[in-house]
Structures are given as structure tokens and as C-alpha cells.
Structure 1
Amino acid sequence: MQYALLAYNPAEDTDRAARPIPGALATMLDRPEVTGWARLHADGSATTLRNDEGRVLLTDGPFIDSKEYLAGLILIEADDLDGALATARELLGTTRPGTAIEVRPILDGRLRGA
């Protein structure tokens, strides 16, 4: 089964684009169960499109104001939720303090090599 691991960072952690990916995290991202990943710029770089009854509203910035922002996502293959949580726990051990990882099953889509 496919899962998305959504990594959230504290809003004040905005200098990460200038930092290299830590070695332990890079090692995790190279594992075979990781089928894709993306590291995102800080939330201030976002542009949001919203469907307002057929009209498109365009807004600079993130969809919501939050103390955390989506910093990246990692796509994995796991047998079940327990397997996905185990990978997420291991991944969390390679991140900076304050990082949160949300685990969600993927309904459908295309992953690298799929």
C-alpha cells in the first residue's frame, strides 16, 4: 500500500533552503520503500488557487495561517499502517526538533517506478 508522509516544520524554521539535507535523512530517502520525495520552500512562497463557485481566486501565501507549514512530502510503500508508522518514526529521528510527520494512505496516483 502507498502512503504519504507529510513533514511539517515550525513556522520560524525558514532558513532550511540554505541547509543541506542531513546525512541520516538523505540515507532514509535513498531506501527502496521510499518511492518519491519533495522538499518544499517555506510557506511564504506558496500561491493558493481556490474554486469559488466556478471562479478562480488566487491568493499569495499558504491556504491557512498556521504555526507549522508543510515542508515536504515523502511517498513510501508499506504493507500496512503499522509499517508506514515505523518508517515515519525512523524518519522523525533524522529531523530537527519541532518537526511533525503526518501519515496518510494514498487513494491512487503514480509513484516513481510504478
Structure 2
Amino acid sequence: MQYALLAYDPPEDTDRASRPIPDGLVDLLDGPKVSGWARLHAAGSATTLRNDSSGILLTDGPFIDSKEYLAGLILVEADNLDGALAAAEEMLREARCGTAIEVRPILDGRFRGA
């Protein structure tokens, strides 16, 4: 089964686009458990489209106002939730302090890494 690991960074982490990913984390991202990943720009670069009763509303910024922001996503293969949690914990140990990872099962999709 595929699981999405959604990585969140604290709001003060603004220089991430110019900062390299820690070597230990790169090794895990390039490992056999990960089938794709993407690093995202900071939340301020987001544009959100929302469908409501009056039509499509386009706004600058992320979908929600939050202190933490979605920084990236990682797609992993795991037999069950425990396996996905173990992969997330291993990555979190290599990530910067303040990072959080949310684990969600994938229903359907075609996302594949490069």
C-alpha cells in the first residue's frame, strides 16, 4: 500500500529553498521504500482555488492559516500503517528540528517520482 508522508516546517524556516537537504535524509529519500517525493516552496508562494456555491474562488496563500506549513510530500510503499510510521520516524530523525510528518494512506493516484 502507498502512504503519503506530508512534511511540515515551522514558520520561521524561510531559507529552505537555498539550503541543502541533510545527507542522511537524501539517502532515505533515494532508498527503496520511497517511490516519489517533492520539496515545496514556502506557504507564501501558494495560490488556492476553492469551489463554493458562487463558483471558483482564487486566493493568494495556502488553504489554511497555520503556523506550520506543508513543505513537501514523500510517497512510500509499506505493508501497513506501522511500516509507514517507521519510515516517517526514520526520516524525521534526519530532518531539521521542528519538522513534523503527517502520514496518510493513498486511496488512488498516479504520482510517481522522477
CA RMSD of aligned residues (A): 1.1
Identity, in percent, stands at 77
The aligned counterpart of 2:47 is: 47
1:54/1:33 Cα in 2 relative to 1: closer, same or farther (>3 Å)? farther
In the superposition, the TM-score normalised over structure 1's length comes to 0.95
Counterpart for residue 67 of structure 1: 67
Q: Structure 1 residue 91 and structure 2 residue 91: aligned?
A: yes
Q: Partner letter of residue 11 of structure 1?
A: P
Structure-1 separation of matches of 2:24 and 2:49? 35
> Stretches of 4+ moved more than 6 A in 1?
none
Instruction: Give the C-alpha shift of residue 71 in structure 1.
Output: 0.2
- Compared with structure 1, are the counterparts of its residues 54 and 35 closer, same or farther at alpha carbon in structure 2 (3 Å cutoff)? farther
Deviations 1:78-114 (A, max 9, x none): 000010000000000011111000000000112438x
- TM-score, normalised to structure 2's length? 0.95
- Number of aligned residues: 113
Question: Where in structure 2 are there 5+ consecutive unaligned residues?
Answer: none
How big is each residue's C-alpha offset from its partner over 1:12-35, in whole Å with a ceiling of 9 and x where there is no partner?
Answer: 101100101111111011111100
